[in-house]
Structure 1
Amino acid sequence: MSDNQSSPGLGAWVLLVVLALVWGSSFILIKKSLLTFSAGEVGTLRMFIAFLGLLPFALPILRKVERKKLPVLFLVGFVGSLLPAILFAIAQTQLESAITGVINSLTPVFVLLIGLVFFHHKIKIINSFGIAIGFIGCSFIMLGGAYFDLSGVNLYALFVIAATVMYGTSINLIKHYLSDIRSLHITAVSFTLVSPISLGYLLLATDFLDKVGTDPQFLSGMAYVSALALIGTAVALVIFNKLVKTASPIFASSVTYVIPIVAIGWGIVDGETLNIYQIVGIGIVLVGVYLANKK
């Protein structure tokens, strides 16, 4: 898979916009899912339904994967997907979906930082500057939401930051240990490996079964979670892989800058409000992410 340096065509731009709309809409879908289900239920349901959607991709490749790579694939599924899915849901019980979408854009920053600390990657000064700016912007969002009153800071943003750290860890594991496996297969197999945990937690540690047939919002909640899992995870990954092949990984990664705009748009439509300090913080975060990824 090589970077295509030619200008992206119309088809690539269309795919980029569709992908941004899909992933940017994930945060409002989490918010709507939480009207019916608990955070643990949303996270594990999302994973298990996505596993079912990706199963046709996993079955042909599962027996071909080297056994020594199965533990890494499990870690990618557990740390890079299952735990973040739960953490995002927990965060959005107390955090606006628009803010969650913006903080999520710090993922590339943690990819660089974890690569530097644990995998001895080399980064340029401007990338380091971008990492610092990204953290400043995130702090501005958290403090600005409480008008810089420390007693009113919403610490649930830390759950989102923890999830982006896990994303950064997962991406580095993939880069260093699974580079010979297609990204779609990595996702499908890793989801398969953690699916027993998702299903076990859902059935044994939550009230999900009690809600089946008794909760009047059950069907609408399932519709939101299913859309989140199948469209926001399975279909989005197919689109992303297509975009990487038809354009370039660099062009595909630029979706990071569009996702917060979509998330903010959905938040405004749903009645969420942002104060001037949070808006400034959003701008700072996006500048930091841009500089952190600047070649």
Structure 2
Amino acid sequence: MSLDRLAPAIFVLLWSTGWVAAKFGGIYSDPLTFLSVRYAVAAVLFALFCRIAGVRWPKDRATILHAVVSGAFLHGFYLAAVWWAVGQGVPAALSGIIAALQPLMTALTAPYMIGERLSPMQKVGIVLGFAGVAIAIFPKFAGIGGTDIPTVALLVNVLGMTSVTYGTIYQKQHLHTGDIRAIATLQYLGALVVTVPLALLLEPFEVRLSWEFLALLGWSVLGISMGAVLVLLYLIRRGQVSRAASLIYLVPPLAAIEAAIAFGEELTTPMIVGTGIVVIGVYLANRKEAHTAPAE
């Protein structure tokens, strides 16, 4: 089986664990501090990997700048918002459902930014996706069922979703060449530009060292920051931006199941129904690509 066929499943499985890591990370440090350590380690390991592999680094300033800026949005603002929101009480499963808006937002904005056109069925899918997220979020947002989530935390979580949407399109617009390993290294430097100042401003910047912390850091760096991100960059480079983004449609149900197992988070009926509608919506929003993608 080719990498093109396996890559989506690998990415979804690895990426879905990010919400569980966000919840566990709060046990050992504040979220922005943990992300800063994670990005610093990932940048160093990527740089070593590039050196060993003989990767050619971008020489023009424009490519370097675009890589740093895209990393600030794809990793810095995005996960800073998500991890902070989870730390403020947004359930990991619900945060994953909010993240499912990203491929829909990407498909919605791509026609205006990079010229990808939407079919009527894709438009229906986008409407369904947003409706599904609304169904999943509203009871928690309104405090129905005894669990009231801070409004600010939910809004920040949504802001993170818009950040990764913009970052995905920005990368498609400006990063057409260059080794994806070198690009990923520069992107983590861009993420550090965001998370380190925020951590110093909002947190004591302390870490409770333990074997559990090191294990979580190891998985966050090797499994997610390196493994999942390399797969995602590969997919973005290979296909249309909305097609690459739509791979996230399986993340919410996986994240919800993992959070229920790891933390006993309740899977309410609105969350289950809303997630199902989101999955259908993103599937419909992505159907066109199977017929219009150029031959490779």
- Flag whether TM exceeds 0.5 (same fold): yes
The CA deviation at 1:18 is: 3.5
2:135 counterpart residue number: 140
**Which residue of 86, 102, 105 maps to 1:92?**
86
1:290 counterpart residue number: 283
1:126 counterpart residue number: 121
After TM superposition, the structure 1 = structure 2 runs for residues 224-263 of structure 1, keeping only pairs within 5 Å, are 224-240=216-232, 255-263=247-255
Matched AA of 1:164: M
Structure 1 residue 191 and structure 2 residue 208: aligned?
no
Matched AA of 2:125: G
**Which residue of 247, 270, 292 maps to 1:277?**
270
**Which residue of 96, 109, 114 maps to 2:109?**
114
Matched AA of 2:74: G
1:56 counterpart residue number: 48
Post-superposition CA distance 1:178-224 (Å, at most 9, x none): 11234443222222344455456556763234x4xxx4x64423431
The CA deviation at 1:120 is: 4.9
TM-score, with length taken from structure 1: 0.80
Matched AA of 1:72: H
The CA deviation at 1:11 is: 6.4
Percentage of identical aligned residues: 19
* Distance in 1, Cα, partners of 2:179 & 2:109: 22
Post-superposition CA distance 1:154-200 (Å, at most 9, x none): 53333232222111111111111111234443222222344455456
Structure 1 residue 164 and structure 2 residue 156: aligned?
no
* Distance in 2, Cα, partners of 1:171 & 1:58: 23
**What is the number of residues matched between the two proteins?**
281
1:77 counterpart residue number: 71
* Conserved? CA contact 1:142–1:154, under 8 Å: no
* Conserved? CA contact 2:111–2:117, under 8 Å: yes
* Conserved? CA contact 1:45–1:198, under 8 Å: no
The CA deviation at 1:56 is: 2.9
Do the aligned partners of residues 51 and 267 (structure 1) sit closer, same or farther apart at CA in structure 2, a change above 3 Å counting?
same
* Conserved? CA contact 2:259–2:265, under 8 Å: yes
Do the aligned partners of residues 200 and 53 (structure 1) sit closer, same or farther apart at CA in structure 2, a change above 3 Å counting?
farther
Report the RMSD for the aligned CA atoms in angstroms. Answer: 3.2
**Which residue of 159, 172, 175 maps to 1:175?**
172
Structure 1 residue 42 and structure 2 residue 37: aligned?
no
Post-superposition CA distance 1:50-84 (Å, at most 9, x none): 21222235566675331123332221011121111
Do the aligned partners of residues 139 and 244 (structure 1) sit closer, same or farther apart at CA in structure 2, a change above 3 Å counting?
closer
| Worse overlay, 25-34 or 102-111 | 102-111
| Worse overlay, 227-236 or 183-192 | 183-192
TM-score, with length taken from structure 2: 0.80
* Distance in 1, Cα, partners of 2:66 & 2:109: 17
Matched AA of 1:173: Y
* Distance in 2, Cα, partners of 1:261 & 1:162: 21
The CA deviation at 1:140 is: 0.9
Which runs of 5 or more residues in structure 2 are unaligned?
289-296
* Distance in 2, Cα, partners of 1:103 & 1:294: 21
The CA deviation at 1:231 is: 1.2
* Conserved? CA contact 1:55–1:192, under 8 Å: no
